[in-house]
Amino acid sequence: MTVRALRLPEETLIPELSETFFPTALEGRLGDLATLEDESIFILREAAAEFSRPVMLYSVGKDSSVMLRLAQKAFYPGKIPFPLLHIDTSYKFPEMIEFRDSYTREIGAELIVHQNREALARGANPFALGTQRCCGLLKTKALLDALSAGGFNAAFGGARRDEEKSRAKERIYSFRDSQGQWDPKNQRPELWNLFNSRIERSESIRVFPLSNWTELDVWLYIHAEKIPIVPLYYARERQAVVRNRTIVLIYSRDELLPGEKVQWIKCRMRSLGCIPCTGAIRSEADTVPKIIEEMISFRRSERENRAIDHDEEGSMELKKREGYF
C-alpha cells in the first residue's frame, strides 16, 4: 500500500527520545494522510455500526471516489455494508454517468439512482428556474425524497470543511430534523471521537468522513492510492462556450444560447456538478501529478466555478439549512 509505505522511517525519531524510551511509538509518526485515512475509516465503521439504515451519497466526484475507497478499506474483506445513492439531476455530464455505472459494477457496490421525475416532467431547468430553485428541486428535494423512500437514517457525504465557510462549522455527525434541515445554532457538541448517534424515528444524521481533508489531501490520496476518477478532471480539448466569463462544456447544439458559438478549448473540471452550472478551467494538467502541481499554484478556491455558491452572500448556508448537502 502506498500511503503507509511513506511513514517516517525509524531514524527520524527524535534521537534523545528514541534512546530513552525505546521501544515507544510516537504519535504523528504516521504522516498526515495516513492519519486522515485512519480517522475517516473510524467514522465510516462507527456510523455503519450504530445506524440501522446507512447509505452513502455518491456524487461521482473526486471526493466521493476517495470516500468510496475508504469504505472499501473500512470493511475489507467484507463488502461495503450499505448502498450508494446518486441524486441524478439529469443535467450531469455523460462521462459521470458512464463512470458511475462501470466503476460501481467493477467494485461490486450496490447503487441506487434517484431523480425528481415529477419536477423534470414539469421541465425543471436552471435557465427557467434560476440555480437556487433548480437545485432546491432537483438536488435537495430529490435527496430528501430518496432518503425517506429508502428509510435511510444516516447518509455519508463527501463534504469537506475547507470547501466553504459555512461548512467549516459542520459537525462530523450533522443532525437533521424530520424535515432534513440543519440548524447551525443548535448543533450537538462533538468531543474527541465520541459521536452521538441517538435520533428519533423521523430524524437523520449526515455523516462526513472527509471533514478534515483538504482539496490537496484528496488529490494526494488519489495519487498515492491510484484511485480511478471521472476523465473530466483531466485536461483535454473539449467543445465549449465562454458564458459569463465561465467555460461551459457543450454536448449538443440545443444547449447553446442565442449568439453562442462552440469552440475547442483545452480545459478540465475542478469540481463536478451539473453541465449548465459548472464551469471548466483552462488547463494543461492531464495527469494526477500535474493536477496537483496546478493546484499548488492555484490561488482560487475550487467552488468558485459553482454558480450555486455565489447567488448571494451566505447562500450555501441557506441551502444547507434547507437540507442541501
Partner 1 sequence: MLTFAASKRSESLAAFLDGDLRKDLLRFTTAGSVDDGKSTLIGRLLHDAKAVYEDHVASVQKSKINRSGGAFDFSLLTDGLRAEREQGITIDVAYRYFSTSRRKFIIADTPGHEQYTRNMATGASTADLAIILVDATKGLLTQTNRHAYIASLLGIRSVVAAINKMDLVGYREDVFIRLQRDFLALAAQLGIPLVECIPISALAGDNIVSASENMPWYSGPTLLGHLETVEFRQIRSLDRVRFPIQYVIRPDSHFRGFAGQLASGSLRPGDALVALPSHQETRVKRIVGFDGDREQAFAPQSIAVQLENEIDLSRGDMLVSPSSLPAVSRNFSAAVVWLHVDPLWIEKPLLLKQTTRSVKACVRRILHRVNVNSFEHEPAERLEMNGIAEVEVETSQPLFLDAYTTSRATGSFILIDPFSNATVGAGMVRETFVADTTSLEERNPATRVAAPGDLTAQERHLRHGHKPGILLLGDRLSLAKSLERALFQGGFESVVVDGSGVASPVLAGFLTALYAAGLVVLCTNTTLAPEDLPELPLEDIFKATEIPAAVKQDAETNGAQLIQDTLSFAGKLRLSPEHKPAGKEF
DSSP per residue, 264-320? EEEEEESS--BGGGB-EEE----SHHHHHHHHHH--S-GGGGBGGGGSSTTHHHHHH
Q: Is 167 left (phi over 0), alpha (psi -120 to 50) or beta?
A: alpha
- Which residue number, 37 or 88, has a Cβ lying nearer to partner 1? 37
Q: Which is nearer to partner 1, 253 or 300 (CB)?
A: 300
Which of 38, 145 has the CB closer to partner 1?
38
Stretch that binds partner 1, among 55-63, 91-99, 206-214, 276-284 (CB under 8 A): 206-214
Considering only residues 96 to 155 of the shown chain, the ones binding partner 1 according to CB under 8 A are none
Peptide bond between residue 231 and the one before it cis (omega within 30 degrees of 0): no
Residue 246 makes contact with partner 1 by CB under 8 A: no
Q: How far is the CB of 24 from partner 1 (least distance, A)?
A: 5
**Which three three-digit cell numbers place residue 116?**
425528481
Enumerate residues 6+ apart whose C-beta is below 8 A from 128: none
Rg, C-alpha atoms of the chain: 21
Q: Which part of the chain contacts partner 1 (CB under 8 A), choosing from 124-132, 135-143, 179-187, 274-282?
A: 179-187
Q: Does 166 bind partner 1 (CB under 8 A)?
A: yes
Which residues in the 32-51 window bind partner 1 by CB under 8 A? Answer: 32-39, 41-42, 45-46, 48-49
According to CB under 8 A, which one of 6, 128, 149, 262 is a site residue for partner 1?
Answer: 6
Residues 70-99 that bind partner 1 (CB under 8 A): 72-79
Q: Does 30 bind partner 1 (CB under 8 A)?
A: yes
Q: How far is the CB of 220 from partner 1 (least distance, A)?
A: 6
- Window of 95-103, 131-139, 166-174, 238-246 that interacts with partner 1 by CB under 8 A: 166-174
Cα 309 to Cα 101, 164, 165, 229, 320: the distances in Å are: 28, 9, 11, 24, 11
Which residues in 283-312 contact partner 1 (CB under 8 A)? 289, 292-293, 296, 298-301, 304
Q: Which CB, 12 or 239, lies closer to partner 1?
A: 12
The residues near 92 (Cβ < 8 Å, ≥ 6 apart) are 60, 272, 274, 275
Order the strands of the 204-207 sheet from edge to edge. 111-114, 84-87, 54-57, 154-156, 204-207, 173-176
CB 241 within 8 A of CB 250: yes
Shortest Å distance, C-beta 31 to partner 1: 5
Interface with partner 1 (CB under 8 A), residue from 83, 212, 242, 243: 212
